[in-house]
Amino acid sequence: MWPPTNPPQKLHFVSIPSSKATQYKKNLIDKYGNSDINEAEVIICIGGDGFMLETLHNYLNYHIPIYSINFGSVGFLTNPKVTLEKDLPSILHQAQPTYLHPLSMTAYTADGKTHTALAFNDIFLYRQTRQAAKIQIITNDEIRLSELICDGIIVSTPAGSTAYNLSAHGPIVPLNSGLLPLTPICPFRPRRWKGALLPSSTSIQFLTIEEQKRPIAAVADFTEIRDVTKVFVKENKTIKSEILFNPGHELSERIVTEQFTA
């Protein structure tokens, strides 16, 4: 559990390949060293939100807190750049932890194969061709919508509710809300259906209608599965990742602030 008794000294650095980010990483390594991942107390992730998500996936089994420094565009999951004059271990010692549970996706495809993936941001289905998608929505084994005609549909985590979900006019939900937004992408029928807020314990199932005429792909963060026929989604409580934020810069506060942003 964070924080440790003393400021962490064993840091492992990863970065995007841009020249500015790699030089910044080199400067930090020159000052603090670069511990082996098997001995590290904190992973320092230098990049944007996409690279932060990638780092969460890549180091999931190490159970090490991640502190991300923004070298991207939006930086919703990151902290501001730390100047070399400041003491990074002391900043990390004061950081506040946020715990994230991913969504688990099991997708069945037209060729009879089964695919699994995790998503800390969102899982979405979308049409592969000019034809609109037709999707049946089932929650906890009960049919909720027999046929949704749309471009696609998104299931978001609370942390990811400010990303694609928000762009599709879905609701922002707080981290501790225990809710998963379910948001249609350009719904045609039912035209006025705006989506739903589901308890995080809900088991969600999507069935592709007219799969040969209207092929659909499913995406979990950056894992894409094409020609899906059936997709199951559920929050995975057995997995918990720890992200560190500066005091006053916590993810939960950013999610609240985002709701008051024009």
- Residue 3 preceded by cis peptide, ω within 30: yes
Q: Is 30 annotated among the ligand-binding residues?
A: no
Of the candidates 196, 2, 192, 211, the residue with the CA atom closest to the CA atom of residue 98: 2
- Say whether 175 sits in a helix, a strand or coil: helix
Q: Is 50 annotated among the ligand-binding residues?
A: yes
The residues, any chain, with a CB within 8 Å of residue 104's CB and separated by 6 or more, are 116, 117, 118, 233, 234, 235, 236
The 10 Å CB-count burial string (b at 16+, else e) for 91-115 is: bbbebbebebbbbbbbbbbeeeeeb
What Cα–Cα distance (Å) separates residue 109 from each residue in 50, 57, 102, 126, 153?
26, 23, 22, 14, 17
- The upper half-sphere exposure of residue 208, i.e. CA atoms within 13 Å in the direction of its Cβ, equals 28
Q: Is 122 annotated among the ligand-binding residues?
A: yes
Is-contact 255 261, C-beta < 8 A?
A: no
Q: Is 111 annotated among the ligand-binding residues?
A: no
Q: Is 95 annotated among the ligand-binding residues?
A: no
Q: Is 121 annotated among the ligand-binding residues?
A: yes
Give the single-character DSSP code of 129: S
The catalytic residue among 30, 36, 49, 227 is 49
Give the single-character DSSP code of 189: B
What's the token pair of residue 3?
């924080």
Q: Is 47 annotated among the ligand-binding residues?
A: no
Alpha-carbon gap, residue 14 to 66, rounded angstroms: 10
Q: Which amino acid is at 244?
A: L
Q: Is 165 annotated among the ligand-binding residues?
A: yes
Question: Has 111 been annotated as catalytic?
Answer: no
Q: Is 162 annotated among the ligand-binding residues?
A: yes
Q: Is 163 annotated among the ligand-binding residues?
A: yes
Q: Using only C-alpha atoms, what is the Rg of the chain?
A: 20
Annotated binding site: 49-50, 121-122, 151, 159, 162-167
Active site amino acids: 49
Annotated binding site for NAD(+): 49-50, 121-122, 151, 159, 162-167
